[in-house]
Structures are given as C-alpha cells and as structure tokens.
Amino acid sequence: MYPLACFLKKAGNFISGSDRSFDNGKCEQIKNLLIGHGIKIFAQDGQFTTAKCDSAIYSGAIEETIPDYKTAKKNNIPLIKRSEMLSSLISSVPGAAISGTSGKSTTAGMLFHIMKESGKDVSFISGAKLIGGASFNFGEYPFLIIEADESDGSLINYYPETGVILNLSKDHMEISKLLEQFKSFISNSKKNVVLPRDLNIAREQNNINRVIYNNPAHFSILERRRDYCIIKYKKERFTLNLPGKHNILNCLAALAAAELHGINPRQGARAMSCFPGIERRLEKIFSAEKIDVFDDFAHNPDKISSSLDSIIPYYDQVIIIYQPHGYRPTKLLFKEIVQSFTRRLRQQDTLYLLPIYYAGGTAEKHISSEDIAREVLKHNIKSEITSRETLLKSINFSNGKSAVILMGARDPSLPEFARQIAKRCEILSQ
C-alpha cells in the first residue's frame, strides 16, 4: 500500500490512511516515510474523517470486520481494492503490467531502470524498492509500470497495453485456477504480451503481438559466477551484477518489454549493466572472507528453489533461516516447501525455522514450523526450530566459505533482523 499511497499523493491527491501495525507500535520507519510525503495517518479505530473522503482503498490482506472498513461502508464511501485502483491506473495510460508467480518486483524494477536510464522518466509502482532507490515514481513521460498480482484473483481485472507473464507455478492457489487468470490477462492485454517459451497458454488473437522473452536465438549465457552473469543479448554483451538463472530470465523479460516501447538492445544492455538490484531479493547485506549474509524475500517453493540454486554451488556451507509466510499458504504449499529444501540442501547445510508469520486476522492455525522441520529431518538434513533471540546467540559457521540467508515475506521487521544477523556474523568473522 505504501508505494500506491505515495504515487497517488504525488499525483496531487489528498491521501490519508491507517494500519494496525502502526497502532501496535510497529513499522515506525514506514509510518514516518508516509508522514514525510504529506500523508495523514489515523488510528485504525473507525474514527477517520469522512467528510472529504472520495474513496477508501484497502489491501486484500485486511478483513471486512476492521473498524475503518465498516465506517467507510456505513458512510457509503466507495470501497476500492488496491488491485482495482492499480487496474484503473494501468488501463488509463500506456504501460506494462508485470505478472507471474515469481520475479514481478525484480522485473518491474529492471524495466523501470531501463526506461529511466534511456532518458524516459516513466511512472512506476512496485512492491519492492530498487537498492538505493524507491518503490514508486511519478514520472513526466506517459508510461506506467506496475506489478499485477495473481494472489487474490484480481489479475483478470488488468487491461495493460503490454502484459508480461514471467512464469507460472503453484503459490496462492492451485495451477488450474492460476491458468484461468493468466488466460484472461492475455486476452485483456491491448497490444502486446511477453511470455516464456514453455508457457503455452496464449489465446489466439490476431490483434495481440506475442513476444517470447527467452527465445534461445536472441541470447546466450557466456559466464555465470557467484555474484554476476555475463550475457549476450542480440549481439550486445553485458554483465548483470546479480546471481542466478532466475535473474537472467527476469532481465530478458525486461529487455523484451523495453524493446516494445522504443528501447533498442544496446540501450537496454547498457542500462542492465548498472542495474543495482532490488531490496530483499537475494540482497547481499554483508560480506567477509569466510561468510556472506543475504536478505531474501523468498517464501514460496519457486522462489526458495531459485535462491538456493543460485547460492549453493558457490559455498561450502549454507545456513537458511526461514520464516514461513502465513498459515494458509504454508498449508497449501507444505509438500512443495519441504521439497524445495530437501532436494537442494546438503548434509553440511542447516535449516533454521522461525514461527510462521502471523499478521492478524482469522487464519486457522492448523500447521506449524515444527511440521516442516519434522519432514526435513526425515531426509537427514539438519533442521531446527528456533527463536530470533536464540538464533542470534547460537549462529555459527564452519571453515570454508559460508552463506547465511534469511528467507521470508511481508513481515516488515525482517530487514532489521537481517541486519542483526549480519552484525553477529561480522563479529564472528573477526
């Protein structure tokens, strides 16, 4: 909600809002950033001023029972989901909506970076910040880049000029339901759709230009190292300063989308050679001779697997600290989450499990981190239930080169915890 609120404020609207985390004394940094942008913060008690409220935009993560939702409904204030507002914005201007199970924030950030580095001050609304940058931009150039999320079923409401589908795997719902959403998304795209070559779901439409972003005739991977990849794209050679095959694919999708909107391969390659990365997307936050520490948004099986595939081959030992994201997603993806660890972790690696993240609401708590630990232990992989306090006191690493990766989503306290882990590792490495 933060980048959308700031974007709408920059567009000249009066914006106010509430969040239960603020009322509980959490997320003070985000609260202060919102206030700094001139956004008024109310307590979430249903007492917000309604006289000048034209609409109430709400996150799909909140319940209809919260006081502010009930107040808006009682006062006949139009209630608009965040996804509906994003859909309205992307439908009214030229732009690109980035969808897929994984990689949306990174690819949206890459496309924004390419356009900006090529001299086009485009608008941008994302769920994650560029490292050293922002998660939104209200630009002068008439073009908008957004993430189009499938988790709440709202993907069918987007009508972008260019629709990008990165990948498709089980996440918030079963594959069959996801397929129907992505088919509608393709049909709704006005001019272009960017797809991977192994995703054969495009409906036949003569007016849609289809682009395969990972066409092997257009690119080759010249070198892959621990911290970077060297890529040749349409005769242009450049270094992508990010690890992993998944980031190469994200980069190719961004380059393909940029070409559809006037950016030639040379401009795109030049821009990607200085792409800074995205916060909490396998972000290296500390490095020493024997230890690297990463802060990572990975929470679903696809993201976990991609991160591990990018890290494990280059380290003698990997320590994973995983905070499962929500009770319902953990239950839905339990088997796949376990497999993402057991098929990759080695005997010398360790998986630490924190309690499942719970943001409030009516979730049924029929699963726990202990269930994951038991299944992982059956495969002779070290797995341990822990708390943050205990972990900071006990974490250690062996001889050789080690990596520590904190994995988890949504919880705004995770970046600070990652910094505490990095500080602990810094002390141990001295």
Query: What are the structural domains of the chain?
Result: 2-77 (3.40.50), 84-272 (3.40.1190.10), 283-429 (3.90.190.20)
Q: Between 301-311 and 334-342, two packed helices, what is the crossing angle to 10 degrees?
A: 10
Residue 406 has pLDDT above 60, yes or no: yes
Angle of CA points 170, 278, 307, to nearest 5°? 45
**Both tokens of residue 114?**
């390419």
pLDDT for residue 308: 98
- Buried b / exposed e across 280-303, counting CB within 10 Å, b at 16+? bbbbbbbeeeebbbbbbbbbbbbb
- What proportion of the chain, given as a percentage, has pLDDT over 70? 96
Residue 364 has pLDDT above 90, yes or no: no
Residue 361 has pLDDT above 70, yes or no: no
How confident is residue 200, by pLDDT bands cut at 50, 70 and 90? confident
Residue 202 has pLDDT above 60, yes or no: no
Q: Which residues pair with 44 in a beta bridge?
A: none
Residue 203's CB: how many other CB atoms inside 10 A? 10
pLDDT for residue 269: 98
pLDDT for residue 145: 98
Mean pLDDT (whole number) for 225-253:
97
User: Torsion angle, CA of 231/197/142/151, rounded to 10 degrees?
Assistant: -110
Segment 132-150, tens digit of pLDDT: 999 999 999 999 999 998 7
Mean pLDDT (whole number) for 261-288:
97
- What proportion of the chain, given as a percentage, has pLDDT over 90? 80
pLDDT for residue 203: 57
pLDDT for residue 309: 97
Q: Residues with Cβ < 8 Å from 112, sequence gap 6 or more? A: 122, 124, 126, 130, 137, 145
Q: Give the separation between CA 154 and CA 149, rounded to whole angstroms.
A: 7
Residue 205 has pLDDT above 70, yes or no: no
Question: Closest Cα partner for 203 from 179, 185, 187?
Answer: 187
Residue 179 has pLDDT above 90, yes or no: no
Segment 302-355, tens digit of pLDDT: 999 999 999 999 999 999 999 998 898 899 999 999 999 999 999 999 999 999
Q: How many residues in the chain?
A: 430
Lowest mean pLDDT among 183-187, 204-208, 213-217: 204-208
User: What is the arrangement of strands in the sheet containing 144-147, beginning at the earlier edge strand?
Assistant: 136-137, 123-125, 144-147, 95-99, 162-165, 192-195, 209-212
pLDDT for residue 172: 63
pLDDT for residue 61: 80
Q: Between 2-10 and 82-92, two packed helices, what is the crossing angle to 10 degrees?
A: 40
Q: Give the separation between CA 63 and CA 360, rounded to whole angstroms.
A: 10
**Both tokens of residue 73?**
């409904």
How confident is residue 199, by pLDDT bands cut at 50, 70 and 90? confident
**Both tokens of residue 430?**
């001295």
* Lookup result for tokens 């050789």: 400
Q: Give the separation between CA 262 and CA 11, rounded to whole angstroms.
A: 25
Question: Closest Cα partner for 409 from 127, 62, 46, 182?
Answer: 127
Angle of CA points 35, 124, 186, to nearest 5°? 135
Residue 110 has pLDDT above 60, yes or no: yes
Mean pLDDT (whole number) for 210-230:
95
> Cβ(202)–Cβ(193) under 8 Å?
yes
Question: Closest Cα partner for 97 from 131, 148, 32?
Answer: 148
Q: Residues with Cβ < 8 Å from 126, sequence gap 6 or more? A: 3, 105, 108, 109, 112, 135, 136, 145, 146, 147
Lowest mean pLDDT among 73-77, 118-122, 152-156, 326-330: 152-156
pLDDT for residue 94: 95
The pLDDT mean for the chain works out to: 93
Amino acid identity of residue 280, one-letter, is R
- Buried b / exposed e across 316-349, counting CB within 10 Å, b at 16+? ebbbbbbbbbbbebbbbbbebbbbbbbebbeeeb
Residue 173 has pLDDT above 80, yes or no: no
DSSP string covering 371-388, please?
Answer: HHHHHHHTTT-EEEE--H
Residue 46 has pLDDT above 60, yes or no: yes
Question: Closest Cα partner for 41 from 68, 63, 61?
Answer: 68
Residue 365 has pLDDT above 90, yes or no: no
Residue 64's CB: how many other CB atoms inside 10 A? 9
Q: Give the separation between CA 363 and CA 349, rounded to whole angstroms.
A: 32
